[in-house]
Structure 1
Amino acid sequence: MTSADFTPVQGLHHLTVMASDPQRNLDFYTQMLGQRLVKVTVNFDDPGTYHFYYGDLTGKPGTIMTHFPWPDAKRGVRGNGEVVAAAYSAPKQSLEFWRKRLGELSPQESVRFGDTVLRLEDPDGTWVELVFDAEGEVSPVDIWPDSPVPAKHALRGFHSVTAWVRETAAVRDLLVSQLGFSEAAQEADAEGQRTRFMGSGQHVGLYVDAVERPGQPRGSFGAGSVHHVALRTRDDAEQQAYLQSLTAADYAPTPVQDRQYFHSIYFREPNGVLFEIATDAPGFADDEAVDELGKHLKLPQWYEA
């Protein structure tokens, strides 16, 4: 079975990162970037650790950045075999607003595939990027009305992620041959040869960039490191089809994991990047009203006792 036998993956669902101080993390993503805290729960595999989810008003797939804050954690080191940057879409006319807003953080400005990009570090050193592109004009996110960022300048969900890899061919085999992405563009930049892959969705979270860096060292996991990138699938049946096809292709995906707000399978591609395929449903309003999202500690039923 190949991706041609069922619906291609839409694009990005969420990104999960290790953090250190939880208050610094909360302040940066809600007060600086204007994202809503849509869920406070625990790491289901390590329930002594918080799990924060940030996104748009309702936590739509393609807008969600999640963090495990481990206080006093040692900072990670970027390298091959991991996602090193997360990029949000922003309206083109908002470039000057964000230049001023982020000025004290000294963002680096560049042009990538014709779009202006601002890159900065969050409090733990994670590269966060803002891409000022056409998708930022039409992205169908639900703007959080209580955001400190005016609605006309609000971030429009994810644009892309960047992975550093030893060889791009292995990423191409996974994304194009197995998951139905298309290869969209290539260019050389300061990091290496960058190849962009595009999911089948519309306007939000469409792109995975692979930067080929042969002979460079692998990353060292710690605070600021991306643990995994999750891709979108619509429902359990579609996910099950991918579970079967990825197993047949020797990616050794995990059994389906119940993450309360979506169902997940995990697997690595040959460079070492950890991917997840997550379902769109049931979503973050499954256990609390939209108006209450992020205001209460929510636990899965098996931890309530």
Structure 2
Amino acid sequence: MTNGIHHVTAISGPARRNLDFYRGVLGLRLVKKTVNFDDPGTYHLYFGDAAGSPGTILTFFPWEHVAPGRLGVGETQETTFRIPEAAVGYWTQRFVEKSVPHDAPVRRFGETVLGFRDPDGMRLALVGVPGIEAEAAWSAGDIPAEHAVRGFHGVSLLVKEAAPTAAILTDVLGFAAAGSEGAYHRFRSGTALGGVVDLRVAGDFLRGRPGGGSVHHVAFRAADDAAEMEIVRRLAEHHGIRTTEQKDRNYFRSVYFREPGGVLFEIATDIPGFAVDEPAASLGDALKLPGFLEPRRAELERVLPDLS
């Protein structure tokens, strides 16, 4: 089984502000500019590495006038990216220069964690990982390649109790328990990119309220349709959890379910990938629409904000 996080999808405010932060400040590549298939007057922006590899992809539904979300139980508390350990100082200085709200670095599970917020208050962190300097990195902007982000480290989920969610991670999604530290329980998969899920136990804390800065769902990887259907089977037979029917998202095929702690999980196939409808060299340049929305292109281009 190919394990780990495929992508994380969040809600943001204005699309231009979102693009300027993730491409301009964090240095990620815009790998796909499409629309929310269920709300096509809204963009769906995908950021990642050069190829939009699974385990690097942070996506957004940007709504111009969205109300801010409220963090609570049943929600992703923090989304984390991997950087070389030696790059923590560079990023601390960059956040100061770019007026990015951030915390002092802390140690968690033996790693240096630099927490920060995006313009919508989304909680993010850069995690210094030793020995990854030689990994490929997208660096088309002003960030030197040696300091650039190397995909996801993982996510931390805020849950009432750890055990029910842990059962899904270990029995269905291929993660293994990797220790505890304070209120955090760590689970690791066999992949470097997006291979960490931390469960932060919060007890009877408030439920989350979705909005700007909230994570909508966390997607986990399945190599192909057969691997995805095996996960669907295990969820049903071992845990009594039913998923949605499979939905074709053009770049992957997905099923969705709410895990016992309340977080919306997706299973997304690695195939066909983001180069299915435009060359890898020009990913993210043009507005791409699914076939059923192509007849509405002129209308949608009029209502979507200009991101050129």
Shorter-chain TM-score category? over 0.9
Q: Does 1:227 align with 2:216?
A: yes
TM-score of the two chains, using structure 1 as the length reference? 0.93
SS in 1 for 2:133: helix
Instruction: Tell me whether 1:44 sits opposite 2:34 in the alignment.
Output: no
CA distance in 1, matches of 2:131, 2:123: 21
* 1:207 to 1:128, Cα distance in 2 relative to 1, 3 A: same
* Partner residue, 2:102: 107
Task: State the distance in 2 between where 1:153 and 1:256 align.
Answer: 38
Of 195, 211, 215, 1:206 maps to: 195
Distance 2:216 2:78 in 1: 12
Number of the residue aligned with 1:151: 145
Distance 1:159 1:137 in 2: 15
Q: Is the 8 A contact 2:101 2:117 kept in 1?
A: no
Once the two structures are TM-superposed, the CA of residue 138 in structure 1 deviates from its matched residue by 5.3
Equivalent residues of 2:27, 2:139 under 8 A apart: no
Aligned to 1:93: 86
Distance in 1 of aligned mates of 2:83 and 2:128: 5
Aligned to 1:4: none
What SS class does the counterpart of residue 171 from structure 1 fall into?
helix
Which aligned runs of 4 or more in structure 1 are off by greater than 6 angstroms?
none
Report the equivalent of 1:116. 112
Q: CA deviation at 1:123?
A: 0.6
Read off the aligned partner of 2:271 and give its amino acid letter.
A
SS of the aligned residue for 2:261 comes to coil
Counterpart of 1:3 in structure 2 is none
2:12 is matched with 19
- Tell me which residue corresponds to 2:254: 264
For 1:238-249, list aligned pairs within 5 A.
238-248=227-237, 249=239
2:124 and 2:262 map into 1 onto residues whose CA distance is 21
- How much has 1:48 moved relative to structure 2? 1.4
Query: Contact 1:157 / 1:205 at 8 angstroms: preserved in 2?
Result: yes
For 2:123, the aligned partner's letter is: W
Unaligned ranges ≥5, structure 2: 296-308
1:34/1:149 contact within 8 Å kept? yes
Sort the Cα spacing of 1:138 and 1:81 in 2 relative to 1 into closer, same or farther, 3 A. farther
Query: For 1:58, what is the secondary structure of its paired residue?
Result: coil
Root mean square deviation of aligned Cα: 1.2
Asked whether 1:292 is paired with 2:285, we answer no
Q: What TM-score results when the alignment is normalised by the length of structure 2? A: 0.92
Which amino acid in structure 2 is aligned with residue 111 of structure 1? R
Matched, 1:251 2:236: no
How far apart are the structure 1 equivalents of 2:134 and 2:202? Answer: 34
Quick one: distance in 1 between partners of 2:163 and 2:61? 31
Q: Which amino acid aligns with 2:236?
A: T
Query: Counterpart in 2 of 1:172?
Result: 166
Aligned residue for 1:73? 66
CA distance in 2, matches of 1:60, 1:230: 13
Name 1:35's counterpart in structure 2: 28
Relative distance call for 1:198 and 1:254 in structure 2 (3 A) is: same
Contact 1:89 1:135 in 2 (8 A): no
Give, in whole Å, the separation in 2 of the partners of 1:138 and 1:187: 29
Q: Secondary structure at the match of 1:87?
A: strand
